[in-house]
Amino acid sequence: MRSDCHIFTRRGLLYTGLGVGTAALTGVAAGAFALHESGRSGHVAAAAKHPADPTRPAGGGAGAGTRPVRGLPHTEHAAGDSYRLRPLAGETSMGAPSAHPPVRTQAEMTLPGTHGRRVLALTFDDGPHPVHTPALLEVLRRHGVQATFFVVGENAAVFPELLHDIAADGHVVGNHSYSHRQLTRLRTEDIESELSRTSDLIDRVLGLPPTWCRAPYGDWHAPSLKICARLGMEPMGWSLDTRDWSRPGTATIVRAVLDQVAPGAIVLQHDGGGPRDQTVQAVDRYLPVLLEQGYTCVRPEA
């Protein structure tokens, strides 16, 4: 009888303990749910208090929450914000698929969709240069003209402030590889490195990756075009070569532009890669003539 009492006593204690434990777990779960709902309500309230600005780019773009630091900021990136982690078309493991430019068979040689309008695109390669790029920016600013600067990553890494100056004046900053190596002679992994390193650098400095790319020497092939598209860029060539890289003289550069210009032209010039004072002077001389002829210098639309 005494033994039975002990058994009943032990069973009672066991059931009591189980009841207390269950109640405790229920309380923890309820508290966690309440905390989650409270945090969720806080986020909703914060979003209502600070609605998204539709003029700001999404993701890691400039103005998405914080202003990009001038110069070359810290290299760490949130995985979700990295342009290199955007899923390929049809891939949903990282969320909804994002749009990528289709793989082109060749670069754009003239501005698309101009329909005979007197528009052209001025492009400058191989910079930024600490002397010629600021001088060229001053000329373009004075004439109220915008252009596209295809920067070499090695130069941009040394002069990141010039990327800010280019973008601040409303010009397009494009990718011209990291070390100006001929892409068609490189292994696929080296092409990827040349283009992605420069895109990553521009993204870190300006808060937004480039949407246009020009291959060194304008030399594209199928693998490089595929990588260009995968990195979210369109390839651009040119229809009017000033050959300013050979330093033929200011008058020769001016004549090359005025003699060959046509609606939709993409003009190739350089602000880096050597002395470019002739180019700066030529731009200052031919721009008033083009503007008087009714031409408008535009940014390419990606």
Side chain identity, residue 157 = A
Distances (CA, A) of 109 to 15, 70, 102: 82, 33, 17
Q: Return the SS3 of 67.
A: coil
Residue tagged 């492009």 (tokens): 123
The residue among 240, 187, 231, 194 whose CA lies nearest residue 216 is 194
Side chain identity, residue 181 = R
Rounded distance between C-alpha atoms, residue 12 and residue 30, angstroms: 27
Q: At what angle do helices 188-206 and 222-230 cross, to 10 degrees?
A: 30
CA 155 to chain centroid: 17
The residues near 288 (Cβ < 8 Å, ≥ 6 apart) are: 143
Rounded distance between C-alpha atoms, residue 257 and residue 215, angstroms: 22
Q: Is 270 a catalytic residue?
A: yes
Side chain identity, residue 49 = K
Rounded distance between C-alpha atoms, residue 238 and residue 227, angstroms: 20
The residues near 238 (Cβ < 8 Å, ≥ 6 apart) are: 109, 123, 218, 266, 267, 268
Catalytic choice (244, 270, 271, 284): 270
87 CB-contact burial (10 Å; exposed 0-12 / middle 13-18 / buried 19+): middle
The residues near 189 (Cβ < 8 Å, ≥ 6 apart) are: none
Catalytic choice (125, 200, 271, 284): 125
CA 51 to chain centroid: 24
Q: Is 125 a catalytic residue?
A: yes
Q: Enumerate the active-site residues.
A: 125, 270
